[in-house]
Amino acid sequence: MNTEHFDVLIVGAGLSGIGAAHHLQTRCPGRTYAILEGRSAIGGTWDLFRYPGIRSDSDMYTLGYEFRPWTDPKAIADGASILNYIRDAADDYGIRKHIRFQSKVTHLAWSSADGRWTVDVQQGGTTTPVQLTCNFLFMCCGYYRYDRGYTPDFPGSAHFKGRIVHPQHWTEDIVTAGKKVVVIGSGATAVTLVPSIAPTSAHVTLLQRSPTYVMARPGQDAVANTLRNVLPARLAYAMTRWKNVLMGMYFFRMSRKRPGQVKQWMLKQVQQALGPDFDVGKHFTPSYKPWDQRVCVVPDGDLFKVIKSGQASIVTDHIDTFTETGIRLKSGVHLDADVIVTATGLVMELMGGASLAVDGQTVGVADTLNYKGMMFSGVPNLAYSLGYTNASWTLKCDLTTAYACRLLNHMQKEGFSQCVPRNADPTLVTEPVMQFTSGYVQRALSGLPKQGSRAPWKLNQNYALDLMDLKFGSVADNVMEFSNPARQSACTL
C-alpha cells in the first residue's frame, strides 16, 4: 500500500493552523497539504473551552488574522464570536476541505536520505496508526494538553459533597445559578468566569493564594469603530492593529523600564474602581513586577463591578483542606460552597504530545535551541507556531507561518530539500525559553527548548523586531543549513 504524501502537513485546526493554511495557499500556490486535527471540530482552544464567559484577553485587532479584518464592534470578544471568525475563515478560503478530523499525530520521524517526514496518525477509535509522509511540517497544535488541565492535589477534596470542576472540562450540566460557588485561581480564566456567573449565583468567591495584576479595558475600541465607519475595512483594521500593537509595546517597555510607576498606576485604577475602603494592597497587589506574569484584562471592569455590588467577593489566603461543605482556609475561615471551580491553570505540552526522531535518533525538544521562536536546532523542515507571552498570540503566528513559506520557496528555487538550524557557536549561553514566573511555565520549563543569549536563538518578544527579521530578513543566514542529501548521493555514484 502506498503511503499518502503531501508537500506540507499542518498539525492543528485552531487559530494558528487555519492561519498557516491561508499563508501556504497564498504564498506557496500549488503545494499539496492537509491539516491533521485530533478533535472533531475546527477552533482549537475556542472550541474546547466551554465555561461561562469564555473570551479573549487580547483585543481582536491583534488576535485576529492580518489578512482577515475583524469587523465586530467588540474588541474583547467572546469565545463563540472568535470560533465563528475561525470557522468563517476556513470556509471562505477553501481550507475546510483540507482538514482531516479525529487524526491525532503520535510520532514524527525525519529521514534525511528521503528528505521527508513520516507521520504516525491515530484516526478515530482505531488502534493501528496510519502513516502519512510530507516534506515539511507546520506544528500548529498550541502549547498545552487538551485532555487535562492542571489541578493541585487539594487535601480533603474527596470529602466535598458538591461538585468540583476544572474550567477546561466544563459541561452543559454544570449549574451555578442559585448556588454558592468558590473559584480557585487568580489568572485569566478565574477573572473571566467570576463576573459571568456572579449575577445568577447565590454568591461567588474568588479564592487566590496570591494576587495578580488586573486592569480594566474598554470592551469596544472607539477608535476602531470610528475608523471603520469612514475608511475601507482593511485600511481601518490595519490602522487599528498597528495602534494596538504600538500601545502594547509601549506598555510592556514601560513595565520593564519603570515597573514601580506602572505598578502604582495600575493599582490606582483598581482602587478607583472598587472604592477607597477596599483592601487593594491585599487582594490586587502582586509581589512581582508588572509583566513578570501576564496581566489580566477585564473588559469594562466587569470583575470590579460584581465585587463592588456584593455579588462576588475576593479572598486571599491558603487552603487548609476541603470539607464536606466547602473549603477551610489556613486562617481558620470556612468558605461555604455548592460548586468549586479549580481555575488552577494549564499543563504545557509542545508538539501535541507527539514523539520526535531524526534519522532514527530520538529527539527531546528540551535538548534543542529555539531558532527565531519557530524551529528547533538540529530538526529539519519543521516549524511551529507559538505566540507571544506579552502580546496577542496571532501576531507572532502570522509572522512565523509567512517566514516558513519563504523558507519553502527558497528551497524550491535553489533545489534544496532540507533546511535545519544548527548552532556552531561554543560561546553561546543558553537560557530558559520563557522568563515568566507563572506556575504553568515554571512547571514545564524542564521540557521546553532553550533559547540562546543572542540572535537568532534569542526570543525578541517584540513584534516590530520580529517583523523586520521574519518578514524582511534573509532566510539564508549563517545558522540555517540548506542541503539536498539525495542529490549529493547521486553525484557520488
pLDDT value at 440 more than 90: no
- When mean pLDDT is compared across 57-66, 89-98, 369-378, 431-440, the lowest value belongs to 431-440
Looking at the domain assignment, is residue 151 inside a domain? no
**CA torsion through residues 79, 85, 87, 90, sign:** negative
Q: Are 45 and 57 in contact (CB under 8 A)?
A: no
403-424 pLDDT, tens per residue?
999 999 999 999 999 999 999 9
Q: Are 38 and 352 in contact (CB under 8 A)?
A: yes
2-29 pLDDT, tens per residue?
689 999 999 999 999 999 999 999 999 9
Q: Identify the CATH number of the domain in which residue 138 sits.
A: 3.50.50.60
pLDDT value at 491 more than 70: no
Domain range for 223 is 157-342
pTM of the model: 0.93
Across all residues in the chain, what is the average pLDDT? Answer: 93
| Residue 130 and residue 219 in one domain | no
| Residue 192 and residue 227 in one domain | yes
Looking at the domain assignment, is residue 51 inside a domain? yes
Beta strands at 382-384 and 418-421: parallel, antiparallel or unpaired: unpaired
What separation in angstroms does the CA of 262 have from each of 243, 259, 272, 361, 436? 20, 5, 16, 49, 18
Q: Count structural domains, the chain.
A: 2
272-310 pLDDT, tens per residue?
999 999 999 999 999 999 988 889 999 999 999 999 999
Q: Are 224 and 211 in contact (CB under 8 A)?
A: no
| Residue 419 and residue 452 in one domain | yes
| Residue 249 and residue 281 in one domain | yes
Question: Is there a cis peptide before residue 421, judged by omega within 30 degrees of 0?
Answer: no
| Residue 315 and residue 375 in one domain | no
Looking at the domain assignment, is residue 124 inside a domain? yes
pLDDT value at 1 more than 70: no
Alpha carbon of residue 188 to chain centroid: 12
